[in-house]
């Protein structure tokens, strides 16, 4: 499967990945609307951690043995056996946050803007390349087949 690799030393903490991710997962897919108008709004599924000049972006690692899927009480969080991508079926999700409780990377967010759902990286399965990777100006994110 494909995985996103994170190169901490190249990350400049610009958070463009967060912005592109949020727009990509918004209703309108337009930057201004996504941030100001869309109802319900959406969240970025990648997050940048930063202390001083040290920073990196992190999103779901699509774990081999994913704790979030085993904790999910509704079956919403599941790994696609063919692609390896772990996806939350937002229709099925009940917002119990059991997945948040066990994700060792802390990359699932509570989306409570309309129905409560767990919001996380879907590896932009419908794009050629995840938008965070594509739009990182410094190649701190790379996607590789492993």
Partner 1 sequence: MKAFSASGSAKGMNIKMVKNKNILNTDYLIIGNSAAGLSAAENIRKNDKNSPITVLTKEKYSNYSKPLTTYYLAGRLEPGNLYFKKSNFYEENNIDLKTNQNVVSIKSSDNLAITEQGNQYLYNKLLIASGGRPIIPEIRVIDKTGKTLSLDEAMSSVKGIFTLTTLDDAIMIRKYINEYSIKTASILGGGLIGLKAAEALLGLHLNINIVELSDKLLSASFDETASGILIEAIKKSGSSIYCGQTIEEIYTENNSINSFKLSNGRKIPSDLLILAVGVLPDTGYLKNSGIKTDAGIITDSRMKTSIDNIYAAGDIVKSHDVLSGSDKNMAIWPIAVKQGEVAGSNMSGIDTAYPGGFLMNSVEILGMPMISLGQSSIEYDDKNKDLKVYKSHDTDRKIYRKIVVRQNRAVGAILIGAIERAGIYWGLINNNVDVSEIGENIVKEDFGLIQLPADYRKHLVVGEGIEV
Ligand X SMILES: Cc1cc2nc3c(=O)[nH]c(=O)nc-3n(C[C@H](O)[C@H](O)[C@H](O)COP(=O)(O)OP(=O)(O)OC[C@H]3O[C@@H](n4cnc5c(N)ncnc54)[C@H](O)[C@@H]3O)c2cc1C
Give the strand pairing for 54-58 and 77-79. unpaired
Shortest Å distance, C-beta 64 to partner 1: 7
Q: How many residues bind ligand SF4 (CB under 6 A)?
A: 28
Which tokens sit at 54?
């040290």
Residue 55 pairs with which residues in a beta bridge?
50
- Binds partner 1 by CB under 8 A, chosen from 33, 41, 100, 134: 100
Q: Is 101 in the site for ligand X (CB under 6 A)?
A: no
Shortest Å distance, C-beta 115 to ligand X: 18
For residue 89, report the phi and psi dihedrals to the nearest 5 degrees.
-80, 100
Cβ–Cβ contacts within 10 Å for residue 65, how many? 7
Q: Is 67 in the site for ligand SF4 (CB under 6 A)?
A: yes
Find the part of the chain contacting partner 1 (CB under 8 A) among 15-23, 27-35, 56-64, 129-137: 56-64
Q: Is 40 in the site for partner 1 (CB under 8 A)?
A: no
For residue 136, report the phi and psi dihedrals to the nearest 5 degrees.
-70, 120
User: For residues 13-32, which are near ligand SF4 according to CB under 6 A?
Assistant: none
Cβ–Cβ contacts within 10 Å for residue 75, how many? 10
Residues in contact with ligand X by the rule CB under 6 A: 73, 96
């Amino acid at each position: 499967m494909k995985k996103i690799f994170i190169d901490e030393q190249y990350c400049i903490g610009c958070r463009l990945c967060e912005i592109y991710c949020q727009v990509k997962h918004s209703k309108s897919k337009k930057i201004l609307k996504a941030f100001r108008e869309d109802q319900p709004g959406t969240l970025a599924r990648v997050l940048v951690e930063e202390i001083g000049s040290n920073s990196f972006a992190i999103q779901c690692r699509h774990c081999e043995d994913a704790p979030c899927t085993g904790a999910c009480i509704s079956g919403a969080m599941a790994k696609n056996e063919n692609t390896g991508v772990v996806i939350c079926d937002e229709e099925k999700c009940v917002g119990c946050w059991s997945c948040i409780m066990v994700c060792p990377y802390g990359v699932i967010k509570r989306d409570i803007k309309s129905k409560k759902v767990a919001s996380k990286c879907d590896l932009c399965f419908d794009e050629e390349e995840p938008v965070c990777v594509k739009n990182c100006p410094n190649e701190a994110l790379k996607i590789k087949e492993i």
